[in-house]
Chain A
């Protein structure tokens, strides 16, 4: 029997085709506005924040859970970094060491928040949705307490400059997103840890019986989500020059949508980081395109995304069913 070589991923091809179709339609109908370097730059800049969070949530969903607290981890980390920078760097001054320290602190906080999520999910057996529902209130609460409910703003200009920085005409934020995609894809596809995350997501019981320590895998999975969320928080801090405890609350929904659009199975075990990444780009291209029609309300995007989510679910379901039918007939 000949072992088939791994076929090109059907889901990935579909996603890329959708993306190409959208860019094509947008390019034809709005060439003057859409086909601009500036437009693509702003697409790259805007998608980084929720794109990063979507990657983290995607990893959690592959492990069979979900992370509803990512947005609030991001806010908490952004706020902590902002407050630290304000404390350590005098207004108008610059101090690269302090800035680096603040960024590192934010990432550590994100990792801790994520590890706590993982602890609740794996050690205490709380369903992931509930555990992260609780921690989302908790992290948001902590952010409210340390800021006294106000917005953190007025950051050193050296830091906010990063938010608009371009590296060879590519926004720095997009490069960070791209780097995260590459690293996470590598972790999920090429390392033992990644394979184990898939196993735990497919069937936690058989994973345990095959000698995998589920709890250590899950804690690390949620830690990844926390770290990625922290980076998202730092990116948004630089871009909008402020951070607030309840910023971006609609991102949670949007990220779950992206992850499912990207082909991750909400029950865990299936899906790829690269699919999630392309779904992020699709969503941002679509929303930038819709922004070019001033008379279409922003809220129409919700309608389109909701329909897209349900449609993708159904399409994936039908395709999976067909594949199973094919396997049965062999």
Chain B
């Protein structure tokens, strides 16, 4: 019972309930939700958004919104793919990833430097840098659609799991990129929860001054977060290209808002210091379900955005009201003391 009480306080729990409810509704209306191919499809569509979600999550946790990850993803994966194609490289995929990660980190470092050095709002800085990256990508490099080099294409064709629905005959495959996503989540989880630096990320988001007095190197941690965000964004961008089997320069931008919404729905506090990776996954799952499966429930595609908007507004309103009531409770004793 005590466990349940604790559960009730977490926004993750409510998101989980909504997901179950939505799943049951869709199942009842169409009978197609809890089928192996649909679930695998959802898992597949979740891969890239949930990788991006780590970027948005880490940024919120420590500093504030980061909206540059789609364009870091676009530019770094472009460079990685372009370089390996031009070199005629055909070795292991990891090298392509390392090139991408390197450039992603460079771009992340620029974000981190400006934010740490000048203490500007991260939203404005990352908006600015993502415009710069977009200008570099489409203006300076004149990036075009291109096919993947053989090694990446091969990697994209190998699948982790393939299922065929016995009843409908529809099949679905889970690509290898799923493992990359899972790996990133496990790694981030371990670092955040079991290392001093990881605890520092939470401390810094909660109260910067206290974190500094507690002995955390606030500047270093914050810079590190944006560096890592660049790397994760690059991985996400390469995964996206691998899954769509070609590089599409203009398809990256604009995805950031939905990812941010997913992370916030999952209980990450916008003001920093509060949030879990579990929440990121659940938030992403909810929004992926809305955009993937709503059509199964007989809701026309044109209503999709209205639903997403409503979910964001209601979800954030609930967590804002929650935050306010918990703040009130903590204020009470102080009043009595006075």
Q: Which residues of A contact B (CB under 8 A)?
A: 66, 68, 120, 124-127, 129-131, 133-142, 144-145, 148-149, 249, 253, 256-257, 260, 266-267, 296-307, 309-310, 313-314, 317
Contacts and interface: CB of A to CB of B under 8 A. Distances in A.
Contact of A120 (B136, B301, B317): B317
B306 A138 contact: yes
Nearest to B307: A141
Contacts, number: 150
A228 to B, nearest CB: 21
Interface in B106-140: 114, 118, 120-121, 123-125, 127-140
B182 interface: no
A302 B139 contact: yes
A178 to B, nearest CB: 27
Contacts of A317: 118, 120
30 contacts: A120-B317, A126-B313, A126-B316, A126-B317, A126-B320, A130-B270, A130-B312, A130-B316, A134-B312, A137-B309, A138-B305, A138-B309, A138-B313, A141-B306, A142-B306, A144-B302, A253-B127, A253-B130, A256-B127, A257-B127, A266-B121, A298-B139, A299-B135, A299-B139, A300-B135, A301-B135, A302-B132, A303-B139, A304-B135, A306-B131
A309 B129 CA distance: 9
B1 interface: no
Contacts of B140: 300, 303
A129 B305 contact: no
B138 A131 contact: no
A306 B120 contact: no
Interface residues of B, number: 48
A202 to B, nearest CB: 15
Contact of B317 (A66, A124, A144): A124
Contacts of B312: 130, 133-134, 137
B85 interface: no
A313 B128 contact: yes
Interface stretch (B27-35, B146-154, B193-201, B253-261): B253-261
Interface string B40-56: 00000000000000000
